[in-house]
Amino acid sequence: MSRQAQIIDLTRRKPRQVRALDTVEVIFEATARILQREGPAALNTNYIAERAGISVGTLYQYFRNKEAILVAMARREIATDEAAVIKAMSEAAEGSDIDPVRLAIRALITAYGKRRVARRAAFEALVSEGLGNELAKSVQKIAQMLGERSDRLLPARTRPVTPTNLFVITRAVSGIMRAASQEESPLLGTPEFEDELVHLVQAYFAGSS
C-alpha cells in the first residue's frame, strides 16, 4: 500500500450511528487513559481494546492501528480547539466585558491544558503521518476571522492589520502554546502565562507601523 493510501485509510469505518460513535469515544477514552497513566510506550491495540472493554476485532473495524487512533484523536482536538477559540472571538465581537484577546488566549490555554500527555502523543502522530498541514489550516481559519473582525477584536490597535502580521502573531502564539505543552511547562495555565500572551498580542498591534 502506498504512503498516500495509508494516510487515506487511517480510519477504516466512518462512525455515523450513535452506537458506533459511542464505541469510538470509548476507544479514545481508553487510549487517553493509558497515555496519561503509563505513557506512549505502553500503548498497543490489544491493551486499548482491553481497557475499552471491547474485542480487538471491534477496534479494528474502526482503526487499523494505534497510529490511526491517535490521528483521529488529534483531529478531534483540532476541531474542538478551533471551535472554542472561534466561540470566544464571536462572544468578544458581540460585546463581552472581557478583553477579546484574553478570551481567545484563555480558550487556547484551556484546550492545551487538558490531558497533556495524550494530547501531545496525538499531535505527534498526526505530524509523523504527514498530516501536520491540518494544524496549519486551523490556525489559518482563526487568523482569517481575526482579520475580518479586527475592528472589534483589536480595538486598541495602532498598526493596520495585514495578512503578514496576522500570520506572524498567530503562528507566534501557536508556537508558544505547543512549546509549553511539549516541554510540560508548569507555566501553562498560570495567570502570568495568560497575561504574557495577551500582552504579546496587544503590544504587537500597538507598536509602530
Cα distance between residue 47 and residue 28, in whole Å: 13
The tens place of each residue's pLDDT in the chain, 209 residues long, gives: 334 334 334 555 555 555 677 899 999 999 999 999 999 999 999 999 999 999 999 999 999 999 999 999 999 999 998 898 888 888 766 666 778 888 889 999 998 888 889 999 999 999 999 998 898 898 999 899 888 888 888 877 888 899 999 999 999 999 999 899 888 899 998 999 999 999 999 999 987 55
pTM for this entry? 0.80
Domains of the chain listed by start with CATH number: 3-206 (1.10.357.10)
